[in-house]
């Protein structure tokens, strides 16, 4: 192409610097705050400190150790348990999501005639029918008093799944078109504000005694993030030619053999990126952990929130230090998988 | 319409020299082809004429105006890309009319002009088809029409037919030639396909490694190649090359095969020429397969003896591959009914009019 | 050859294979249909499991006036059976619709800004320049910051004694002490700025990948026809990027409508209800006012609205534009 005139090159450079500067500044502010001693935290003394004048690790120390009556509440616990909690539930949730998501993705990639183009009135109509059929049973189960126990919920859910199948068959008799679509429901699940379904989930989790346990959070994280796994892994599987599976099967492998020995190793890179991506999502969650944990397993964001909303003083430094600790893993992983970030966040719709 | 003149044009990409000191004059209203293998700098030359690339050195003139600093959109040049670069989100009509639309021409005029072009290119039926759905053949026509509508002074085509199917390619060659004649358009055409260049162009510039090898009419290029590259590149099957040296005996000049005993008697003009040539012990003679004839008997002494190795029947003709001497193979075009078996001895007649002698060191023809 | 030519041996074979197909085992493990079903089954059933009970429980609660504070556990809610009164109340509840409107306002303005900024920045990064790699990576950092932390960062940023006011003071040369988070208008600006900051990088990434993928020869063809940069943008780039732009807007809009973490940490929905998005509204109803049955009715209303929106919004994400992208 033609050389650009110098002024254009300079102008672009200036613009890039301004833009990158603006977008980096808030992060920078947190990072610098994390290393500032107390006196530099705010402008209370009339000056603002753009850089830590007297860098210190005191804030990290404060937030990572138990302090009695010094900074926050009378008895401030350290952030270490919440860091441990974040690590465990994020990894667990990621593995769970990968397990169910990868299988479904392969199924959708190879065998699906699922167009995913489900009209809303069918989706809603199906749901409405289901609710009409099941509501009396719900009341009955409630009257029987069994639904507060795990077996009550389980039996009710099995009944519901049966009813759902019947309704699907029934609809298919009268409506020529897709009446169900796994791909669509998975995507649709992402559209709902999680807040809208959190009350009954809390009820269910308390029935299963899953509230404030690591496995309870792992289960929710797995379910919440597996749509991403499905769409992301489907896009990776779609890139692997179908002929390879067929060749493996012709050579005597079983369907499962073709999947585990041929396709999955080829999608290894994609699987790793997906894992990191889902880890970032789980790690970043605040809402689910806020509602489903109380004392034992709050994650870092929940702990941070408790610090922020605590009444005692503007403890900027320790909070920023905790924020910095919370931000390091996702930023590092995010940079590692930057090629796939777009693909992940657009459900595989944009591939580059 | 305008003529195009390139003066000492040079283009470097980093340390790679794509075009070396190219000086060329494409006459006004003629059809010129730039021919060469891929990577020879022909597309770069084209892009420089269009203004899509800036030359490192040298000048480009349209008629007498220096164009180096004129932006591509203002050069009044039509450009047809190898992959057509059709705007797939528009209809055929919108594609063709694009050049006028961005010039702010009013709708009615655009419609009229598009209609004219569509008629010329037989696209009238598909004006409202989405251009992304067209066949490759029709895309080609749309690309032509889109460039034609703004009536450029110079028309540049970058391998426009290489993706077309064979039958349509032959048809489009004829059509393009017809259109060019009709409007007397200056056209410059880049191709690696010698048949295209030979059949369409008034002038051909043969390039290799960024260097102009020869510029001339198709006839000159074919019959008077200036060097081994051009001689080898033009013609299919390509020219036979036999390493040889010059020998003078009893006042007669011969070209003697290096790896065998085949001798060719030279006429006086050639003999004198070669006698004076300093490198006359290291020569190559060349002759096109179509200028050789096979005989069953050595009815004349100057025929060369050769052994048939295999036949390559092509339907309208048969290419006979023979062994001449120890290592050299030679191809001869024979009648399709030719049926001699491998191992048969044959006698080759060379038409001295079509014999080319090259210096093996420099590669240039001796003249 | 006619396929139905009667060759006895062949007919027999055909009949046999047809019978074999008929007599397919009830559970044929080697059947590919079984294989494909067993791949998707876990996802399908976990989806049903996680949706079925909560959905029904939510409907059930929403039809009563039960709350945890009203005695009895939730299974006893039928004692407070209330038919659709909660829904009527939701429809009459100004705060609900205001929260919904506010959510769409924040999402709309933020996503529009993200799109414009993202596209503009993508143009800056289209050509090579020294240090591009580093600047590019720096640009991506905000989207990887945990939203809750980002909420805290912007809470810091917008403090009256925070860096923003300090910068403004420097620029205007006199002390500037606006309390951003205490004013109905500026707090909205603050929330939108935070949202834009966090997610413009994603838009930027999407737009950059779109721009890089644009066919170069078509741009050159337009150049040759004399198109100006603006005309190329208007007539070529925008239409060609359209599928990608739609996908990006839909997905960002969808996610922005769920906004909770950042706003909650910045303002907790305040001052008063100034930044109460639908998620925060429901959080307050359910966990501060403990009106569970009412919150359930509001949630059901939102589910219906979102289902309808989703089926239209998600259409561009499906074939055939997926391929075009």
Instruction: Please count the residues of chain B.
Output: 367
- In chain C, which ranges are continuous DSSP H helix? 8-22, 32-62, 85-92, 94-124, 132-144, 147-157, 163-172, 184-212, 216-224, 229-231, 238-257, 261-266, 278-283, 292-313, 321-324
- pLDDT attached to residue C116: 95
Looking at residue B319, the DSSP 8-state letter turns out to be E
Residues of chain B positioned with their CB less than 8 A from the CB of A2:
51-54
pLDDT of C3 over the 60 cut = no
Q: At what angle do helices A338-345 and A214-239 cross, to 10 degrees?
A: 100
DSSP code string of C188-248: HHHHHHHHHHHHHHHHHHHHHHHHHTS-HHHHHHHHHTT--HHHIIIIIIHHHHHHHHHHH
Residues of chain C positioned with their CB less than 8 A from the CB of B99:
225-226
Residues of chain B positioned with their CB less than 8 A from the CB of C226:
73-74, 99, 102-103, 150
Average pLDDT for B94-114 = 89
In whole numbers, what is the pLDDT of chain C averaged over residues? 82
Tell me the percentage of chain C whose pLDDT exceeds 70. 86
Give B217-261 pLDDT, tens digit per residue.
988 888 888 888 988 888 888 898 988 888 888 878 888 888 888
pLDDT range class, residue C152, cuts 50, 70, 90? confident
Average pLDDT for B24-53 = 87
| C171 close contact with A: CB closer than 8 A | no
pLDDT of B102 over the 90 cut = no
ipTM of predicted complex: 0.85
How far is B80 from chain A, CA to nearest CA, in Å? 17
Mark yes or no for CB contact C224/B86 under 8 Å: no
Residues of chain B positioned with their CB less than 8 A from the CB of C220:
52, 72, 79, 81, 85
Mark yes or no for CB contact A19/C140 under 8 Å: no
For chain B, where are the E strands, in sequence order? 4-13, 16-26, 31-35, 57-62, 65-66, 77-80, 154-158, 186-191, 203-208, 211-216, 240-249, 252-257, 263-265, 283-287, 292-295, 304-313, 318-324, 328-334, 345-350, 356-359
* Backbone phi and psi for residue B190, each to the nearest 5 degrees, phi listed first: -100, 130
Closest C-alpha to B357, from B296, B252, B300, B272:
B272
Closest C-alpha to C261, from C194, C169, C317:
C194
- pLDDT attached to residue C44: 81
pLDDT of C2 over the 50 cut = no
Which chain A residue shows the shortest CA-CA distance from B51?
A2
Whole-angstrom CA distances from C67 to A146, B247, C32, C86, C229 are 19, 117, 50, 12, 62
Give B264-275 pLDDT, tens digit per residue.
888 888 888 888
Helix (H) or strand (E) holding A75: strand A75-76
- pLDDT attached to residue C54: 84
pLDDT of B74 over the 90 cut = no
- pLDDT attached to residue C15: 67
In the stretch 81-100 of chain B, residues with CB closer than 8 A to chain C read: 81-83, 85-90, 98-99
Most confident of B4-13, C62-71, C118-127: C118-127
Range name among A62-66, B116-120, B201-205, C240-244 with the lowest pLDDT average: A62-66
Mark yes or no for CB contact A349/C202 under 8 Å: no
A9, A13, A18, A23, best to mutate vs chain C, most C CBs in 10 Å = A23
Structure tokens at B171: 């048809």
Average pLDDT for B138-146 = 87
- pLDDT attached to residue A15: 92
- pLDDT attached to residue A14: 92
How far is C226 from chain B, CA to nearest CA, in Å? 4
What's the alpha-carbon Rg for chain B, to the nearest Å?
25
A286, A300, A303, A310, best to mutate vs chain C, most C CBs in 10 Å = A286
How far is B175 from chain A, CA to nearest CA, in Å? 32
Confidence (pTM): 0.83
| A309 close contact with B: CB closer than 8 A | no
CA distance B237 to B333: 9
Looking at residue B303, the DSSP 8-state letter turns out to be P
How far is A173 from chain C, CA to nearest CA, in Å? 22
- pLDDT attached to residue C24: 52
Q: Between A178 and B288, name the one with better pLDDT.
A: B288
How far is A331 from chain B, CA to nearest CA, in Å? 37
Mark yes or no for CB contact C47/A352 under 8 Å: no
- Is residue C52 within 8 A of residue A164, CB to CB? The reply is yes
- pLDDT attached to residue C170: 81
pLDDT of B157 over the 60 cut = yes
pLDDT < 50 positions in chain A: 1, 72-75
Which chain C residue shows the shortest CA-CA distance from B143?
C221
What is the end-to-end Cα distance of chain B in Å, rounded?
A: 37
| A3 close contact with B: CB closer than 8 A | yes
How far is A4 from chain B, CA to nearest CA, in Å? 11
Chains with ≥3 Cβ pairs under 8 A against B?
Answer: A, C
Which chain B residue shows the shortest CA-CA distance from C241?
B89
pLDDT of C65 over the 90 cut = no
């Amino acid at each position: 192409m033609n050389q650009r005139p110098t002024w254009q090159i300079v102008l672009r450079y200036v613009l890039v610097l301004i833009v990158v500067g603006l977008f980096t500044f808030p992060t920078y502010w947190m990072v610098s705050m994390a290393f500032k001693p107390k006196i530099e935290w705010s402008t209370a003394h009339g000056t603002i400190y753009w850089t830590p004048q007297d860098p210190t690790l005191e804030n990290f120390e404060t937030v990572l150790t138990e302090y009695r009556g010094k900074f926050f509440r009378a008895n401030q616990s350290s952030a270490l348990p919440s860091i441990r909690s974040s690590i465990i539930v994020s990894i667990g949730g990621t593995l769970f999501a990968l397990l169910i998501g990868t299988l479904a993705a392969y199924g959708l990639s190879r065998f699906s005639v699922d167009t995913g183009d489900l009209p809303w009135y069918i989706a809603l109509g199906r749901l409405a029918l289901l609710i009409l059929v099941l509501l009396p049973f719900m009341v009955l189960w409630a009257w029987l008093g069994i639904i507060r126990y795990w077996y009550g919920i389980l039996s009710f859910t099995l009944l519901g799944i049966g009813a759902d199948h019947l309704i699907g068959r029934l609809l298919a008799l009268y409506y020529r078109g897709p009446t169900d679509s796994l791909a669509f429901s998975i995507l649709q699940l992402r559209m709902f504000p999680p807040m809208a379904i959190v009350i009954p989930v809390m009820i269910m989790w308390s029935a299963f005694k899953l509230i404030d346990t690591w496995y309870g959070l792992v289960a929710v994280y797995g379910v919440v993030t597996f749509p991403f796994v499905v769409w992301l892994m489907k896009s990776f599987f779609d890139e692997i030619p179908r002929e390879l599976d067929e060749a493996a099967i012709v050579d005597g492998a079983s369907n499962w053999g073709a999947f585990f020995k041929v396709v999955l190793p080829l999608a290894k890179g994609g699987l790793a990126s997906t894992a990191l991506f889902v880890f970032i999502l789980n790690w970043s969650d605040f809402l689910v952990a806020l509602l489903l944990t109380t004392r034992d397993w709050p994650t870092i964001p929940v702990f941070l929130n408790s610090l922020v909303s605590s009444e005692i003083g503007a403890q900027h430094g320790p909070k920023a230090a905790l924020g910095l600790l919370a931000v390091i893993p996702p930023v590092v992983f995010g940079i590692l998988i930057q090629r796939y970030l777009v693909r992940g966040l657009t459900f595989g719709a944009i591939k580059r | 319409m305008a003529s195009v003149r390139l003066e000492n044009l040079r283009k470097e990409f980093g340390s790679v020299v794509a075009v070396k000191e190219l000086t060329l004059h494409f006459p006004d209203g003629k059809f010129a082809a730039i021919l060469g293998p891929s990577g020879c700098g022909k597309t770069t030359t084209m892009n420089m004429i269009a203004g899509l690339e800036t030359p490192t050195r040298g000048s480009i003139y349209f008629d007498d105006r220096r164009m180096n600093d004129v932006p591509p959109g203002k050069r009044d040049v039509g450009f047809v890309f190898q992959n057509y670069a059709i705007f797939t989100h528009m209809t055929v009509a919108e594609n063709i009319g694009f050049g006028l639309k961005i010039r702010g021409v009013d709708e009615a005029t655009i419609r009229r002009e598009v209609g004219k072009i569509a008629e010329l290119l037989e696209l009238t039926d598909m004006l409202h088809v989405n251009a992304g759905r067209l066949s490759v053949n029709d895309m080609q026509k749309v690309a032509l029409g889109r460039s034609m509508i703004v009536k450029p002074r110079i028309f540049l085509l970058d391998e426009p037919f290489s993706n077309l199917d064979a039958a349509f390619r032959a048809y489009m060659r004829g059509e393009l030639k017809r259109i060019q004649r009709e409007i007397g358009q200056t056209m410059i055409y880049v191709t690696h396909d010698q048949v295209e260049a030979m059949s369409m162009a008034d002038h051909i510039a043969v390039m290799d490694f960024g260097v102009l090898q020869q510029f001339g009419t198709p006839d000159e290029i074919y019959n008077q190649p200036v060097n081994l590259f051009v001689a080898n590149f033009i013609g299919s099957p390509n020219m036979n090359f036999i390493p040889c040296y010059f020998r003078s005996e009893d006042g007669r000049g011969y070209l003697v095969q290096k790896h065998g005993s085949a001798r060719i008697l030279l006429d006086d003009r050639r003999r004198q020429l070669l006698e004076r040539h300093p490198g006359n012990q290291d020569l190559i003679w060349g002759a096109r397969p179509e200028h050789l004839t096979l005989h069953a008997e050595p009815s004349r002494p100057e025929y060369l003896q050769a052994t048939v190795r295999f036949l390559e029947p092509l339907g309208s003709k048969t290419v006979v591959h023979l062994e001449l001497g120890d290592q050299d193979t030679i191809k001869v075009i024979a009648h399709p009914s030719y049926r001699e078996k491998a191992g048969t001895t044959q006698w080759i007649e060379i038409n001295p009019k079509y014999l080319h002698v090259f210096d093996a060191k420099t590669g240039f023809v001796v003249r | 050859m006619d396929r139905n030519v009667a060759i006895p041996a062949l007919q027999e074979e055909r009949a046999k294979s047809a019978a074999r197909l008929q007599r397919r085992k009830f559970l044929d493990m080697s059947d590919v249909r079984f294989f494909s079903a067993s791949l998707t089954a876990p996802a399908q059933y976990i989806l049903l499991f996680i949706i079925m009970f909560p959905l029904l429980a939510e409907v059930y609660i929403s039809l009563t006036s039960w709350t945890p504070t009203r005695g009895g556990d939730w299974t006893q809610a039928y004692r407070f059976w209330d038919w659709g009164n909660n829904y009527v109340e939701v429809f009459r509840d100004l705060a609900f619709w205001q929260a919904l409107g506010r959510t769409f306002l924040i999402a709309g303005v933020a996503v529009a800004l993200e799109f414009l900024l993202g596209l503009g920045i993508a143009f800056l990064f289209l050509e090579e320049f020294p240090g591009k790699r580093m600047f590019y990576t720096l640009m991506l950092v905000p989207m990887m910051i945990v939203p809750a932390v980002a909420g805290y960062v912007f809470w810091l940023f917008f403090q009256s004694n925070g860096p923003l006011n300090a910068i403004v003071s420097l620029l205007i040369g006199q002390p500037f002490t606006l309390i951003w988070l205490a004013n109905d208008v500026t707090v909205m600006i603050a929330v939108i700025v935070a949202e834009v900051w966090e997610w413009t990088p994603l838009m930027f990434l999407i737009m950059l990948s779109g721009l890089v993928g644009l066919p170069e020869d078509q741009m050159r063809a337009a150049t040759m026809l004399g198109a100006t940069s603006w005309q190329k943008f208007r007539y070529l780039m925008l239409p060609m990027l359209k599928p990608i732009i739609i996908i990006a807007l839909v997905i960002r809009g969808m996610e922005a409508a769920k906004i909770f973490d950042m706003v909650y940490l910045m303002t907790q929905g305040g001052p008063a209800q100034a930044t109460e998005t639908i998620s925060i509204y429901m959080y307050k109803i359910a966990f501060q006012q403990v009106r569970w049955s009412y919150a359930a009715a509001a949630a059901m209303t939102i589910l219906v609205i979102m289902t309808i929106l989703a089926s239209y919004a998600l259409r561009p994400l499906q074939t055939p534009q997926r391929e075009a992208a």
